[in-house]
């Protein structure tokens, strides 16, 4: 009954009330729409970053000190797509009069295309060839086919000796556009690694790539049961500062965009005041006919809920539609020279929708409660006596 009375009160508003009502609905709609779009875009970039890093480093990294039996169990897991043995070592690359500090990553060329899904030009490295990042190549003026020198100062053969140095051919240049990877890594073969490195025991590890990123938590538990107390790390564990910055960006965006809903809440409050003042006689008559004071409170609360949820429905419908439309038709493109993707990524999970809905409900209910308590300090039956 209270709902229908509140609905009729809203329908009978004058021109001023209708304008404030429209402003309130538009404000809630814009706030909901902005929250959904911003969260979906941030999620999209985070998912793309996760995908690209996993294509480079895999989903998990474990020390290369497990038994063959445990390794066989890991490879047999249905969630595991590929397993790659790696060495990493700091070193130098020299070309003409230029040089740079880099990280050598020793991998097997047989697994490179199936594990490291990275865009590149040229060819995959053979036994005496290397594969380096685009930023390193640009800075040192290196092109595919050039001969360069690489060395490992950490692997001096003698106390007063020179570090081992090799002349190698650049077979290809990759462009991952991931963090500083293009300015950091050089892929080398096992043959070059044996010649260049004399002490890489502490830098040996195994990268594990899964078929689907959604199985990360489940697979981590399974791996822990297999390898025991060994450390299992993901790229998120190795980049805590970056992950924290992403989370803080999400929180900051939600807080800032929620201010739109706060402003819209004041518009709802104004609308409720206008309706209540205009309908004070009707409220007094309803009290005279036996309506309880709690019912009057609920009646005003319903008005706030009706206005608020009209805006929520419009904002959610438009926001989710934009996300679905972008994911299907990919109409919003991004400049390739800046971003590592061609279209704007957008992803919205059920949890995100629930969070945005809860934020809206909080502001709408807060407005209703405040409006009810602030305006109805007195019984409308008593207020009716003040009206001349």
The string of pLDDT tens digits covering residues 324-353 is: 999 999 999 988 777 878 899 999 999 999
Of 233, 263, 292, which marks where a domain is finished? 233
Task: Please check whether residue 15 lies inside any domain of the structure.
Answer: yes
Q: Indicate if 21 and 162 belong to the same structural domain.
A: no
Task: Please check whether residue 375 lies inside any domain of the structure.
Answer: yes
Q: What is the number of domains present in the chain?
A: 2
Q: Indicate if 130 and 226 belong to the same structural domain.
A: yes
With vertex at residue 335, the alpha carbon angle to CA 334 and CA 340, rounded to the nearest 5 degrees, is 80
Of 205, 233, 261, which marks where a domain is finished? 233
Tokens of 134: 């685009």
The pLDDT, as a whole number, for residue 67 is: 86
Strands 185-188, 98-106: pairing is parallel
Task: Please check whether residue 101 lies inside any domain of the structure.
Answer: yes
Task: Please check whether residue 36 lies inside any domain of the structure.
Answer: yes
The pLDDT, as a whole number, for residue 139 is: 93
CA-to-CA dists, residue 266 to 20, 357, 384, angstroms: 10, 19, 26
The pLDDT, as a whole number, for residue 154 is: 79
Q: Indicate if 126 and 184 belong to the same structural domain.
A: yes
The string of pLDDT tens digits covering residues 71-86 is: 899 999 999 998 888 8
List of the chain residues with pLDDT < 70: 1-3, 14, 16, 109-111, 156-161, 199-203, 375, 377-381, 383-388
Beta bridge partners of 112: none
Task: Please check whether residue 388 lies inside any domain of the structure.
Answer: no
The pLDDT, as a whole number, for residue 196 is: 83
Task: Please check whether residue 201 lies inside any domain of the structure.
Answer: yes
What pTM, to 2 d.p., does this model score? 0.86
Beta bridge partners of 130: 170, 188
Task: Please check whether residue 354 lies inside any domain of the structure.
Answer: yes
Q: Indicate if 64 and 35 belong to the same structural domain.
A: no
Q: Indicate if 373 and 339 belong to the same structural domain.
A: yes
The pLDDT, as a whole number, for residue 383 is: 65
**Long-range CB contacts (within 8 A, 24+) of 335-342:** 339/177, 340/48, 340/52, 340/176, 340/177, 340/178, 341/48
Q: Indicate if 25 and 81 belong to the same structural domain.
A: no
The pLDDT, as a whole number, for residue 1 is: 63
Of 233, 261, 290, which marks where a domain is finished? 233
Residues spanned by the domain of 27: 2-51+242-383
Q: Indicate if 72 and 200 belong to the same structural domain.
A: yes
Residue carrying structure tokens 């970056």: 242
Task: Please check whether residue 176 lies inside any domain of the structure.
Answer: yes
Q: Indicate if 248 and 363 belong to the same structural domain.
A: yes
Q: Indicate if 304 and 366 belong to the same structural domain.
A: yes
The pLDDT, as a whole number, for residue 231 is: 84
The string of pLDDT tens digits covering residues 124-134 is: 888 889 999 99
Q: Indicate if 218 and 298 belong to the same structural domain.
A: no
Q: Indicate if 207 and 80 belong to the same structural domain.
A: yes
Q: Indicate if 218 and 320 belong to the same structural domain.
A: no
């Amino acid at each position: 009954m209270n709902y229908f009375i509140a609905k009729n009160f809203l329908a009978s508003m004058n021109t001023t009330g209708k304008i404030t009502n429209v402003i309130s609905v538009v404000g809630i709609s814009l706030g909901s729409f902005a929250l959904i779009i911003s969260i979906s875009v941030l999620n999209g970039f985070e998912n793309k970053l996760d995908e690209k890093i996993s294509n480079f480093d895999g989903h998990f990294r474990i020390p290369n000190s497990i038994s063959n039996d445990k390794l066989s169990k890991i490879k047999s897991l249905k969630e595991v797509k590929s397993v790659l043995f790696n060495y990493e070592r700091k070193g130098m690359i020299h070309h003409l009069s230029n040089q740079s500090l880099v990280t050598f990553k020793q991998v097997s060329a047989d697994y490179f295309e199936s594990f490291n899904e990275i865009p590149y030009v040229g060819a995959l490295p053979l036994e005496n060839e290397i594969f380096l990042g685009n930023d390193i190549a640009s800075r040192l003026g290196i092109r595919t086919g050039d001969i360069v020198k690489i060395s490992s100062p950490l692997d001096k053969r003698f106390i007063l000796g020179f570090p081992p140095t090799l002349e190698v051919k650049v077979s290809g240049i990759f462009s991952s556009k991931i963090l500083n990877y293009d300015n950091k890594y050089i892929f080398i073969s096992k043959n070059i690694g044996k010649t260049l490195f004399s002490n890489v025991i502490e830098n040996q590890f195994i990268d594990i790539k899964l078929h689907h990123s959604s199985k990360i938590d489940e697979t981590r538990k399974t791996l822990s049961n297999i390898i025991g107390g060994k450390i299992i790390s993901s790229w998120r564990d190795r980049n805590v500062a970056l992950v924290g910055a992403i989370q803080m960006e999400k929180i900051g965006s939600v807080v800032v965009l929620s201010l739109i809903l706060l402003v819209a809440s004041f518009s709802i409050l104004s609308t409720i005041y206008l309706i209540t003042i205009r309908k004070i006689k009707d409220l007094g008559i309803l009290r005279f006919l036996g309506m309880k004071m709690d019912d009057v409170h609920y009646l005003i609360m319903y008005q706030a809920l009706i206005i608020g949820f009209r805006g929520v429905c419009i904002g959610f419908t438009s926001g989710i539609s934009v996300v679905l439309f972008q994911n299907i038709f990919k109409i919003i493109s991004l400049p390739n020279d800046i971003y590592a993707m061609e279209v704007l990524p957008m992803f919205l999970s059920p949890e995100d929708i629930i969070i945005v809905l809860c934020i809206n409900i909080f502001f709408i209910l807060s407005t209703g409660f405040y409006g009810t308590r602030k305006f109805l300090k007195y019984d409308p039956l008593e207020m009716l006596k003040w009206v001349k």
